[in-house]
A = this chain, B = another copy of it.
Amino acid sequence: MIQLDLNAIAEHLESLEETIIFKLIDRAHWRANSVIYEKGRSGFAGNSDKSLFELRLLFQERMDAEFGRFCVPEERPFNKKLPTPGRKVSIDKTGLHTTDYNCINLTSDILTDYLALVPCICKAGDDGQYGSSVEHDVYAVQAIARRVHYGALYVAESKYRQMPEKLKPLIKAEDFNSLYTALTRKDVEEAIVARVREKVISVQSRIRTEIRHTITPETIVRFYHNCVIPKTKKGEVLYLLNRPPN
C-alpha cells in the first residue's frame, strides 16, 4: 500500500526533481532543432500529418503501453488508442478513489508548456541531431508528467483525508477556483522552487560550458512556477471533482 502521508508524498516528489533536471539538461545538449516539431516534416512516409517529435512520443507510448506503463496511476499517456499491456502488471493498493485515472490527465497542458520551454533551454539553431533531440524530448515530458500526476493524485487524496469537512462543500458546489485556493500552500511552493534552483546549479557545476550547453536555473524555476506546480494543483482539483464520495 502506498503511504498516503503528505510528508512521504512530498519526499517522493522531491526525489523526482533530479530526474526532471537531468532529462532537461540532456535535451539541452542538442540545439533547438525546431524542424522536429513541424508537422509533416518527420521524414516518415505515410505519416505526413505529424511532427517527428509527435511520432516519437506515439511510438514510445505504444511500446510503453505494451509493457504496462499506463496501468500505474501516475503514468498518464499523451496519446489515445494505445495497445493493451502484453504482460501482467501488479500494482500496489493505491488508496486512491477514482473510477478513471484519465479524468486527471494533464498531458495536453504539459506538452504546450514543454514546447515553449525548449527554445529557452536549448541553444538556437540546427545541429542535425534530430533523433537524439526527440528521444530526449520524450524522456523529459514523461518525467514531468509522472511528477505532475503523482502529485495531483496522491496529494489530493491525502489532503482530502486531512480536511474533508473543508473540501466536501467545495466539491459539491464544483467550485474549481475555491478548491484551487484551498489546495495552495505558497510557503511549500517557494521551498520547492528554491530547492530546484539550487539543484540545477549544483548538478551543472562541473560542466565545462565551452563544450556542453548548460541551462539557467531561472528557466527551470519559471517552469516549476508556471507549469509543474499549477498543473499539479489543477490535477488535484480534477481528482477531487472526480472523487466519488465514500
Give me the interface of A with B, judged by CB distance under 8 Å: 11-12, 14-15, 18-19, 22-23, 25-26, 29, 42-45, 52, 56, 59-60, 63-64, 66-69, 72, 86-90, 92, 128, 131, 134-135, 139, 195, 198-199, 202-203, 205-208, 210-212
Partner of A66, one of B59, B72, B92: B59
Q: How far is the CA of A198 from the CA of B207 in the complex (A)?
A: 10
Candidates B131, B195, B198; contact of A69 at CB < 8 Å: B131
Known: A22-B22, A29-B19. A14 touches B208 (CB 8 A): yes
Residue numbers in B under 8 Å from A199 (CB-CB): 206
**Contacts A43-B87, A63-B59, A211-B14 known; A131 to B72 CB distance under 8 Å?**
yes
In the complex, what residue of chain B is closest to A146 when comparing beta carbons?
A: B132
Q: Once the chains bind, are A205 and B202 in contact (CB under 8 Å)?
A: yes
Q: How far is the CB of A66 from chain B (nearest CB, A)?
A: 7
How far, in Å, is A143 (CB) from chain B's closest CB? 9
Interface contact A212-B18, CB-CB below 8 Å: yes
Q: From the candidates B25, B56, B203, name the one contacting A67 in the complex (CB within 8 A).
A: B56
9 A-B contacts, Cβ less than 8 Å apart? A11-B208, A12-B211, A18-B26, A45-B86, A52-B87, A60-B63, A69-B131, A89-B131, A90-B128
